[in-house]
């Protein structure tokens, strides 16, 4: 995909109760070819939007009602519960509250800028957030693809997968599962083919970020 196509596909959410800020920030983002969608309240964003549809969220800390930090904490809770993708979040505030900054960054915020943010600083911060999004989104999509492939395995194949990832050889797996070595080899071959690997070590490396509890067969 070309750079121009990347820019055209980039969507940024602006959550700020000040219409002048939403307008000026939207215009600023357009100078880089980035499209934006504005939301006045945190509740508006939660009701109308899917975070994964955006590549960066720019959030005012002092939104009336649910604050920007409360919105972020709710998005993080939902992300942990559903495992859906949450893009980088960039905070804006007119109040230099250091503890607030530290809290947001510890929770995983991308950056924290004071209003009024210098246009170049703002664009640089958004650019860094978008670069982080490309990496994180790619990792998330790879994980989702692996989970989809695991879901297609039979219960027996999942048992063999668990043994393979643990580093056991075919003879050992056969003993553990009380099946023949030839049957284990057939399962191993299909599993390796499905995940495009040649050995159990390669498979374990590919699945290192996915806990075995995700696919293990219930007792």
Nearest to 72 by CA among 82, 84, 87: 87
Provide the pLDDT for residue 47: 93
In the chain the first and final C-alpha atoms are separated, in Å, by: 46
Residue 101 to residues 87, 98, 104, 111, 126, Cα–Cα distance (Å): 18, 5, 5, 9, 17
* Rounded Cα gap, residues 176 and 170, in angstroms: 10
Query: Tens digit of pLDDT per residue, the chain (219 long)?
Result: 434 435 558 999 999 999 999 999 999 999 999 999 999 999 999 999 999 999 999 999 888 899 998 999 999 999 988 889 999 999 988 766 667 777 777 878 888 888 888 899 999 999 999 999 999 999 899 888 888 889 889 999 999 999 998 889 999 999 999 999 999 999 999 999 989 898 888 888 888 888 788 777 665
How many alpha carbons lie under 13 Å from residue 172 in its C-beta half-sphere?
8
The burial of 6, by beta-carbon neighbours within 10 Å (0-12 exposed, 13-18 middle, 19 or more buried), is given as: middle
- The residue count for the chain: 219
Residues 6+ apart with CB under 8 A from 188: 160, 164, 170, 173, 200
């Amino acid at each position: 995909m070309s750079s121009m196509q990347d820019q055209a596909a980039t969507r940024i959410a602006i959550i700020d109760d000040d219409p002048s800020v939403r307008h000026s920030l939207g215009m600023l983002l357009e100078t880089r070819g980035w499209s934006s969608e504005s939301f006045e309240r945190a509740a508006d964003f939660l009701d109308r939007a899917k975070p994964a549809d955006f590549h960066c969220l720019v959030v005012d800390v002092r939104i009336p009602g649910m604050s920007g930090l409360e919105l972020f904490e709710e998005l993080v809770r939902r992300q942990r519960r559903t495992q859906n993708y949450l893009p980088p979040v960039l905070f804006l505030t007119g109040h230099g509250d250091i503890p607030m900054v530290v809290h947001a960054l510890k929770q995983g915020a991308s950056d924290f800028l004071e209003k009024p943010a210098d246009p170049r600083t703002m664009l640089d911060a958004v650019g860094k957030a978008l670069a982080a999004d490309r990496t994180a989104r790619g990792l998330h999509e790879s994980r989702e693809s692996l989970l989809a492939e695991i879901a297609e395995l039979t219960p027996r194949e999942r048992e063999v997968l668990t043994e393979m990832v643990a580093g056991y050889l075919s003879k050992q797996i056969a003993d553990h599962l009380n099946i023949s070595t030839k049957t284990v080899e057939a399962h191993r071959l299909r599993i390796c083919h499905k995940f495009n690997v040649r050995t159990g070590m390669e498979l374990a490396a590919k699945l290192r970020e996915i806990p075995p509890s995700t696919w293990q067969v219930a007792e």
